Amino acid sequence: MRSNFGETSDPSIKQKVDSFVEGIAYLNFIQDVVKSETAMAQADPQQVELSQRVNREILRILAATHCICWGKPTYCLVLSIDDTVCLEE
């Protein structure tokens, strides 16, 4: 893309942007309500285990090439899908 995207963009530019955006998927790692008495809720082990299985299958189906994680706890949960150890940074 060599120009900014806007209402007056060339149809070919709009198509490129639309095609890219249509390939983006978003989901929460934990697929359930996480109850907590504090501001920082933490999923219980059963929720995490189920979410690992669900997310593994979603990533397989979508054939994801990139994952963007919001925060280190989510990053570590995504890494744990394949039993990968989360490295401290």
- pLDDT tens per residue, range 58-80: 888 888 888 888 888 888 888 88
Q: Has this prediction a pTM greater than 0.85? A: no
- pLDDT tens per residue, range 16-37: 888 888 888 888 889 888 888 8
Q: How many CB atoms lie within 10 A of CB 9?
A: 15
H or E, element range at 44: none
